[in-house]
A and B are shown apart, each in its own frame.
Chain A
Amino acid sequence: DAGVTQSPTHLIKTRGQQVTLRCSPKSGHDTVSWYQQALGQGPQFIFQYYEEEERQRGNFPDRFSGHQFPNYSSELNVNALLLGDSALYLCASSDRTRSSGRASYNEQFFGPGTRLTVL
């Protein structure tokens, strides 16, 4: 059973360009979340998708957008790249329907990430 996969592994862009990162969730998962992790920092939540719509969003500008496809895979798009966008971009998938105990607990499984370098 494949886990979460992301492509590409590494990417180098220049300022002002646009980039698209891709994520395939773990089999059976319907929810995809994206995180940005700068060097030496913890991951920061960008947004989450399920049922092909953005459901939650962190404190990121509109330059960051996404999409979810009917097969639950997802894309993260970043326009007008800045040097500060250089980071490891992580995708996490989960199953919304799974619950445990007093609350709905959806363990999130992370992919290996895409390392984006903006020059």
Chain B
Amino acid sequence: LAKTTQPISMDSYEGQEVNITCSHNNIATNDYITWYQQFPSQGPRFIIQGYKTKVTNEVASLFIPADRKSSTLSLPRVSLSDTAVYYCLVGAFSSGSARQLTFGSGTQLTVLP
């Protein structure tokens, strides 16, 4: 399983764009990159997943360079409710089963008023 490295914490202000970068130097060919969000005393919630280039959904964008050794989660115009821990996960999926998710320590994002 590829090891990931993220900043321990980040602060931002309401309305700003936040970019959280994750390093995964030993990512394998079949690995996908997935981001989860977790609020205190709640289970993690899937945000976005990608393999290469750029992926965008209604809540975030994921930028993956050509070498795939890092990825950046972009949250546009954050609000106080985006204060949470964000996890970057890297791994492959196998046919017919849900892979075990390997979480690191995550990035604590604090949005200030």
Contact = CB atoms under 8 A, between A and B. Distances in A.
Interface of A: 4, 31, 33, 35, 40-45, 48, 50, 55-56, 58, 88, 90-92, 94, 96-97, 99, 101-113, 115
Given A41-B105, A103-B94, A106-B93, 11 more contacts: A42-B104, A58-B100, A90-B43, A97-B96, A101-B51, A103-B93, A104-B93, A105-B49, A110-B43, A111-B43, A113-B41
Contacts of A33: 98, 100-101
A90 B97 CA distance: 18
Contacts of B30: 103
Interface residues of B, number: 26
Nearest to B85: A42
Interface of B: 30, 32, 41-46, 49, 51, 87, 92-106
A93 B56 CA distance: 24
A115 B44 contact: no
A96 B98 contact: yes
Task: State the 5 A-B residue pairs at the shortest beta-carbon distance, nearest first.
Answer: A110-B43, A42-B103, A106-B98, A45-B100, A94-B98
A103 B92 contact: yes
